[in-house]
Amino acid sequence: MRRLALALLAVPVLAQAPAPQIRAQYEWGYAGKDGQGKGTLSILVDPVPGKVILELQGLGERLVLLQGDAAAGYHLLIPRRELDQRSPTLAGLPLPFLPRLGSADAVYRLLTLGEGPGVKVTKRDAQGPVKLRYQGEDDQGRELMVWLTRTRWEPGT
């Protein structure tokens, strides 16, 4: 028994490297009860400190700006709705056009693996999902469909 314990202590434990930050840009399309739209989604996610910066543009204007990290909390601006909201977690914010993800790690998994409630990956490449589709409800409970197509991908260190 003692030899087994010593043998187990000698087995090296491989430390998993932290996930690298990602900068990405997507073209998006939207269809819902209140109409349709299209534009650009730019996003930076660094899962280790829980940092997320997300900007949604459409028709030449900023529709949504989300920024923050797990330590300081998150700040959401939606100018058209005159919404200026802060929360200690992502789960506490109504993110239009995206599924309820709740954390920077969940946003990271959405971009790298295509995981998320109501999300379906329709095209992949070596870096992950290229085309995603999200079917769900907006923050007011109305059905919506969102399409994302990755146009730029920059993994960090």
d(CA 74, CA 54): 11
81 assigned to some structural domain? yes
Per-residue pLDDT tens over the stretch 120-135: 999 999 989 999 999 9
CA-nearest of 143, 141, 126 to 94 is: 141
Q: Which domain holds residue 35?
A: 18-155
Residue 96 has pLDDT above 90, yes or no: no
CA-nearest of 134, 52, 48, 47 to 97 is: 134
82 assigned to some structural domain? yes
Query: Number of structural domains, the chain?
Result: 1
Per-residue pLDDT tens over the stretch 48-94: 899 999 999 998 899 999 999 999 999 999 998 899 999 999 988 88
Residue 152 has pLDDT above 60, yes or no: yes
- The CATH number assigned to the domain holding 99 equals 2.50.20
Per-residue pLDDT tens over the stretch 19-50: 789 999 999 999 988 889 999 999 999 988 99
pTM of the model: 0.82
The predicted pLDDT at position 39 comes to 95
CA-nearest of 62, 93, 89, 90 to 78 is: 62
Residues contacting residue 138 through CB under 8 Å, at least 6 positions apart: 32, 96, 97, 144
**Residue found under tokens 């290229």:** 130
50 assigned to some structural domain? yes
4 assigned to some structural domain? no
7 assigned to some structural domain? no
10 assigned to some structural domain? no
d(CA 83, CA 85): 6
